[in-house]
Structure 1
Amino acid sequence: MATLEQCRAALDRLAQNLSAAEGDVRRAAAMDRSLSCHITDLDATFLGRLAGGSIQDVTQVAGPPPGKAQIRLAMSGDDLVALVDGRLHFAAAWATGRVRLEAGLRDLLRLRTLL
């Protein structure tokens, strides 16, 4: 089972990957939205902001998200690490219920480039 430190490191790697992206991926990540990622097996949530083409101001809280972020993810720690490492494809994980994603329709349409 992934630890909170491994999950935080995965989010940091994702932020770096987004910052270095170009083209359609860069444009999709350029939105300014609040973001939460609930790690279900560790019952912890990472909160941050998708802005400027990266994930910024990441903090961690115990339990489920304290509020409703504009983009909400939920998954196990192992799945987060596997997604960022490229060992798990987002569409397959979402289709099988391993990853939950909630966002407004406009945001979902922009995010599909990232996923």
Structure 2
Amino acid sequence: MATVDECRTALHGLAAKLDENVEARGKLDFERTLACRVTDLGTAFHARLSGGRLLDIADGDDPRAKIALTAASDDLIALLAGKLDVTRAIASRQISVKANPFDLLKLRKLL
């Protein structure tokens, strides 16, 4: 089981990758709030997707978030590191993503 700090670091790592990858930012040009809930640690994070960037990452849940990702800590880290295929993870219920179907298509480009 990963720690809260490892999950936070993984989210910040994703944000840094998006900042560096101009091509990916162009594919994710939309504004949404994001909640990331880590089930085995009983914690959550929230942020904003804006202009293809992940901004304002903070501790705590956002129950009104337009996109909600729920996963165990190890699955979250593997997903953000590119070691876990998002489609398979959703199909096998390793992770859960609640979002508008069109947002899911755009997010797939991110993960």
TM-score by length of 2: 0.89
Task: Give the alignment partner of residue 74 of structure 1, picking from 64, 70, 74.
Answer: 70
CA contact under 8 A between 1:48 and 1:56: conserved in structure 2?
A: yes
* Deviation, structure 1 residue 66: 4.5
Percent identity, aligned pairs only, is: 39
Q: Tell me the amino acid that sits aligned with residue 90 of structure 2.
A: W
Equivalent-residue separation in structure 2 for 1:103 and 1:29 (angstroms): 14
Equivalent-residue separation in structure 1 for 2:77 and 2:67 (angstroms): 19
Residue aligned with 1:49, SS: strand
Partner residue in 2 for 1:51: 50
Q: Map of 1:26-105 to 2, 5 A cutoff?
A: 26-61=25-60, 65-105=61-101
CA contact under 8 A between 2:26 and 2:51: conserved in structure 1?
A: no
Q: Deviations over 1:38-66 (max 9, x none)?
A: 000011110110113221111112xxx34
Equivalent-residue separation in structure 1 for 2:30 and 2:62 (angstroms): 22
Structure 2, unmatched stretches of 5+, are none
Alpha-carbon RMSD across the aligned residues, in angstroms, is 1.5
Residue aligned with 1:88, SS: coil
Structure 1, unmatched stretches of 5+, are none
* Deviation, structure 1 residue 79: 0.8
Moved over 4 A (4+): none
TM-score by length of 1: 0.87
